[in-house]
Structure 1
Amino acid sequence: MSLVGKISTEIGVHASAEKWFNLFAKQLHHVQNLCDRVHQTKLHQGEDWHHNESIKHWTYVIDGKVTTCHESIESVDQANKTINYKLFGGEIDHQFKVFKLIFQAINKNRGGAIIKWTFEYEKTSEEVDPPYGYVEYFHKCTSDIDAHLLKA
């Protein structure tokens, strides 16, 4: 059994891909006010939330358990509305040697968008389960955020 894996999920939303990408590229600090499962975010290191060298600290609920991690941006592709994140620290380091999150907002032809979340990971051992709790978490957060973006 392989320790390396990749899980992708696509979620249809009503708000435009532009609104979604703008939120994650320029207003990420607002996510804590939009999702029930995000308890707190704070800038851990750096001066700007959206600089590649900045590190953010997140407190959130996965599988009913309060969890923390650090996050940094690895790359931003504005043309493809894609952002690559690295998650580390806290519970993640106990289960994964590598944990990357890729966000992509894709326009639909008839309005709205598809939000694609991709999780690339390397488990610390075969006993560790794939990060299905994160898939469920991001589905719920996507729904919460979409409701907010429709009002904006």
Structure 2
Amino acid sequence: MAHISLKRQVKQVEIKSDGDVFHELFRSKPHHISNISPTNYLDLHEGDWGTVGSVIFWKYTHDGKEKVAKERIEAIDEEKKLVTFKVIEGDLMELYKTCIFTVHVDTHGENNLVTWTVEYEKLNEDVEDLTSMLDFCVALTKDIETHHLNN
């Protein structure tokens, strides 16, 4: 059996809304995403919002299908405005051995850049890359930005 290696994909989105507010949302208020993007529902399963080791339950729509995921917050870096989530249960685990998402916000005055990185290992070579999940993250970023700019 061929060894399947860890893969990495990155997508960036420029946002005009406040990068600090965006980071704060993913760091300690991800449950507010349910109000901003109604096709996504988040709930806290373990721990406290905004703490490493906490487990967040997601119910989301991806490629027209309702899906679920449980993610554990693996890292929070205030200085770099970075949050890392590891998927530990749910639909993605049926296709991937490992799946880790990192959201990083670069703030430079008016120009803020949100970088989504996903590192993953497929269960087999026939499994698709996670490009469409990164597209989902970009779309979610744009929903959040639209919400913040309109409120």
Please state whether the residue corresponding to 2:148 is helix, strand or coil.
helix
Q: What's 1:74 paired with?
A: 74
**For residue 102 of structure 1, what is the amino acid of its counterpart?**
T
Please state whether the residue corresponding to 1:53 is helix, strand or coil.
coil
Q: What's 1:21 paired with?
A: 23
CA shift, 1:131, in A, is: 0.9
TM-score (norm 2): 0.91
Q: What's 1:114 paired with?
A: 113
CA shift, 1:75, in A, is: 0.7
CA shift, 1:113, in A, is: 0.6
Please state whether the residue corresponding to 1:136 is helix, strand or coil.
helix
Q: Distance in 2 between matches of 1:37 and 1:142?
A: 13
The unaligned stretches of length 5 or more in structure 1 are none
Q: Distance in 1 between matches of 2:53 and 2:27?
A: 14
Q: Distance in 1 between matches of 2:111 and 2:32?
A: 21
Tell me if the contact between 2:27 and 2:50 (Cα under 8 Å) persists in the aligned partners.
Answer: yes
**For residue 128 of structure 1, what is the amino acid of its counterpart?**
V
Change (3 A) 1:127 1:3: farther
CA shift, 1:86, in A, is: 0.6
CA shift, 1:151, in A, is: 3.6
Please state whether the residue corresponding to 2:137 is helix, strand or coil.
helix
Tell me if the contact between 1:37 and 1:141 (Cα under 8 Å) persists in the aligned partners.
Answer: no
Please state whether the residue corresponding to 1:30 is helix, strand or coil.
helix
Q: What does the per-residue CA deviation read over 1:42-99, in whole Å, with 9 as the maximum and x for residues that have no partner?
A: 11223x1222222111000111111101011111111111111111211111111110
- Equivalent positions of 1:1-152 (< 5 A) are 2-38=4-40, 40-46=41-47, 48-109=48-109, 111-152=110-151
**For residue 17 of structure 1, what is the amino acid of its counterpart?**
G
TM-score (norm 1): 0.91
CA shift, 1:132, in A, is: 1.6
Q: What does the per-residue CA deviation read over 1:9-46, in whole Å, with 9 as the maximum and x for residues that have no partner?
A: 000111122111111112111011111431x2111223
Q: What does the per-residue CA deviation read over 1:92-145, in whole Å, with 9 as the maximum and x for residues that have no partner?
A: 111111100010001235x03110000000011101001122111111111110
Identity %: 25
Please state whether the residue corresponding to 2:33 is helix, strand or coil.
helix
Runs of 4+ in 1 over 6 A off after TM superposition: none
**For residue 72 of structure 2, what is the amino acid of its counterpart?**
S
